[in-house]
Amino acid sequence: MSVETPRRIVLLRHAKADWPDVSDHDRPLADRGRRDAPAAGRWLAGTGIHPELTLCSTSERTRETWKLVAHELPHRPRTVYEERLYEATLGDLLALINETPDDVADLMIVGHNPGMLALADALSGEAEADLLPRLRRGGFPTAAVVVVTFNGSWKSVEHGVGRLVAHWTPKD
């Protein structure tokens, strides 16, 4: 695969989590999260985007979200549970993307705010229609999905390199 191949980054924020008396890392999904995550998976399946690799935070809520989303996809991508995604900064997220092998055309990241919103905003040098103002106004709610496209190597991903082409939330 050429490094000039069009690529997509699919960002998925974990679904709504519950607040039981456990560590933040071990918080499970709330009932609403268990409803919203499959809807995100159905939306993603309907787009025709089929990530080849998913990087998923190791937290309980992200792993539960990913399991429910993946169940709705026609093919489950290779999944790597990545500890560095938990509490990741924008710099951490960019570094993880830069490590992606160039034979991957579509990458999915299942993570947390504020990092996911910061990443979506930072990557989106351009956007379709009103997507960028919508993202900046509405943020990155739980179970939301953002899709950013770009050309080039994963090692070249940096601020402003991409085009925001989709922003879906459970309220859609």
6-105+115-168 is classed CATH 3.40.50.150: no
Reference 12, options 23, 51, 46; nearest CA is 51
pLDDT in tens, 16-61: 999 999 999 999 999 999 999 999 999 999 999 889 999 999 999 9
Q: Looking at residues 70-99, what average pLDDT do you find? A: 96
Cis peptide before 74 (omega within 30 of 0): no
Res. 1: pLDDT tops 90: no
Mean pLDDT score, 71-97: 96
Which backbone phi and psi does 170 adopt, to 5 degrees?
-55, -25
Query: Domains of the chain: which residue ranges?
Result: 6-105+115-168
Separation between Cα atoms, residue 54 and residue 41, nearest integer Å: 13
pLDDT tens-digit map of 145-168:
999 999 999 999 999 999 999 999
| Per-residue pLDDT tens over the stretch 51-74 | 999 999 999 999 999 999 999 999
Count CB neighbours of 2 within 10 A: 9
Query: pLDDT band for position 3 (50/70/90)?
Result: low
Question: pLDDT averaged over the chain?
Answer: 95
Residue 54: per-residue pLDDT = 98
- Which pLDDT tens digit goes with each residue over 8-18? 999 999 999 99
User: Residue 17 gets which letter from DSSP?
Assistant: B
| Pairwise CA distance, residues 21 & 105, whole Å | 40
Pairing label, strands 53-57, 78-82: parallel
